[in-house]
Amino acid sequence: MFWHFAARVAAAALSLPALLFALRFFQQTGYNVARGYIRIALSRCFVCGAICVALLVPVEILLGDYSDAVLAGCSFASAAVALSVRAKVPLKFTRRATRLFVASTVACTVGFLFLPSYLLPLLPFLVILPCALLLLPFERSINAKYIRQAEQKLSRAAYIKIAVTGSFGKTSVKNILTEMLSSKYKACCTPGSFNTPLGIASYVNNDLPCDAEAVVFEMGAKKRGDIDFLCKMVKPRYGILTGIEKQHLSTFGSVDNVIAAKGELLKHIPENGICVLNADNVYTRRLDIEACPTVTVGATGDVAIGDVSVSAAGTSFCLTVGGKKRTLKTRLLGAFNATNVALAAALAYELGVDAEDIFGAAERLKPVPHRLELIEGANGTAIIDDSYNANISGVRGALEVLSCFEGKRYVVTQGIVELGREQFEVNFGLGKELAAVSDAIVTLGQNCKALSQGARAANASAEILFADTVGEAASLLAPRMRAGDVILFQNDLPDSMI
């Protein structure tokens, strides 16, 4: 009896890492119950728990009391797997996360007292879903109140409000613009990738400086109406639309819906405001530019870019702002970063920042973490961390940078996700492009087949490797690395692959 009780207590204690693992996945998906649970069910931690359950059922039937030792061993294995997953974005114990954690802990305690032993390794995953569903009405009420509080503060605000949206480059443009505006204003921006109603509300309610003169808000979308909601909340006077690409098609449904959703920004810019548009983007040209005053950026735009040159050390380009032309050199990698700089420069100039200050800010820019960030590796090797990039335009820009390196070139990628019916076709084409510039490709996740078939269609001798996690991919490539070689970690790699 004692050993039976001790085994269950040990299983209860060892379930904590799995519960925190599941809670982090819910938090990363914005507490979307369906998406959060699907990600959990596909994770190594859940699979390990399921294997433990499958092992314990016959053991408990055949061995009876001896199953306690197996239970303790299975619980230890589950905890070890949960702890081995390196979080790209760590769990933050916000009030909502704390409520879900407490509710799940109580449910787990009841489960450990009354459920059969063979279910215990999966218990944290079994209880978090009903707990999240039970708390959902309460959480929605709190969220609505929290967003209203931010709306009231925003409606009374005297500072300049700027919205940045698009299928790519939002965070980079937001940071670049904030740097340029800082020469004239007390400028600030939403942190990281805070681009949802709750993310923006959190910043406005808790962290936005009271003496701010210009605030840049990043705005994301997964469906039509999302940008409309955010604009009604923030009420921006100025905007930047970085560009439109086939992205999140699993939720948007079609590229036409993506265009319509991003175009919602233009309808909210007043007559005394301006929206900056990427004139070189094919989908941006389909927008109703008569909806508000606009400034265009591109090869033939109001703010012109030319003579773009990309190297392993950075990017140089010619930028014309306010009639002044300057050749700039920046540490930012990739030709698309020349466009990002120009988009920010166009609006900064419209807001009264001197062209010379804009040029100076452009040359002082530092890379944004995880967005074509060049990291010095061991023994003269290099790492390009582009792990937060998840669109085809960004991938092509990253491959352009990769081609500038003279040593062996390796790519670790899961391809492009959330593309709905077009996912195989897009990743097949991506595989062809990867094969053209890399010496070996390590594929992960659901797009392995499309990537490998595309790569071999372009190059029958292309070397394709397969891995379950980024750590495994790094282990495969580490013995090959020599001075001058480079690894590109490409696309938005979730925790389950890290």
From CA 476, how far away is CA 469, in angstroms rounded? 11
Q: Which of 296, 329, 364 is the last residue of a domain?
A: 364
Measuring CA to CA, which residue among 392, 486, 380, 482 is closest to residue 438? 486
The 10 Å Cβ neighbour count of residue 72 is: 18
Q: Which of 333, 364, 395 is the last residue of a domain?
A: 364
213 lies in the same domain as 317: yes
Consecutive 10-residue averages of pLDDT for the chain (498 residues): 61 79 83 79 81 75 58 70 70 89 91 77 86 92 94 94 94 95 96 89 93 95 94 96 86 89 94 94 87 90 91 92 92 91 96 95 87 86 82 85 91 86 89 92 89 91 87 87 90 50
**What is the pLDDT at residue 72?**
61
CATH code of the domain containing 451: 3.90.190.20
- Provide the 8-state DSSP code for 281: -
In whole angstroms, how far apart are CA 376 and each of 373, 380, 384? 10, 7, 9
From CA 489, how far away is CA 237, in angstroms rounded? 37
> Is residue 206 in some structural domain?
yes
Domain with 332 in it = 157-364
What is the number of domains present in the chain?
A: 3
Which tokens is 29 given? Answer: 């998906």
**What is the pLDDT at residue 389?**
65
> Is residue 149 in some structural domain?
no
**What is the pLDDT at residue 191?**
92
225 lies in the same domain as 111: no
**Cβ proximity of 215 and 188 under 8 Å:** yes
353 lies in the same domain as 383: no
From CA 259, how far away is CA 435, in angstroms rounded? 31
178 lies in the same domain as 318: yes
419 lies in the same domain as 332: no
354 lies in the same domain as 391: no
CA dihedral 150, 152, 155, 159 (to 10 degrees): -50
CA dihedral (135, 230, 420, 431) positive or negative: negative
> Is residue 59 in some structural domain?
yes
**Cβ proximity of 124 and 45 under 8 Å:** no
**What is the pLDDT at residue 174?**
96
> Is residue 152 in some structural domain?
no
> Is residue 150 in some structural domain?
no
176 lies in the same domain as 248: yes
- Those residues whose C-beta lies under 8 Å from the C-beta of residue 2, and which sit 6 or more positions away, are none
- Those residues whose C-beta lies under 8 Å from the C-beta of residue 88, and which sit 6 or more positions away, are 387, 493, 494, 495, 498
From CA 128, how far away is CA 134, in angstroms rounded? 10
> Is residue 426 in some structural domain?
yes
> Is residue 145 in some structural domain?
no
207 lies in the same domain as 344: yes
Q: Which of 105, 140, 175 is the last residue of a domain?
A: 140
In whole angstroms, how far apart are CA 19 and each of 40, 111, 348? 11, 13, 46
> Is residue 474 in some structural domain?
yes
161 lies in the same domain as 295: yes
380 lies in the same domain as 319: no
CATH code of the domain containing 293: 3.40.1190.10
Please report which helix (H) or strand (E) contains residue 209, including its range.
none
104 lies in the same domain as 127: yes
**Cβ proximity of 440 and 477 under 8 Å:** yes
Locate tokens 């937001």: which residue? 174
**Cβ proximity of 292 and 313 under 8 Å:** no
Bridge partner list, 412: 442, 489
123 lies in the same domain as 7: yes
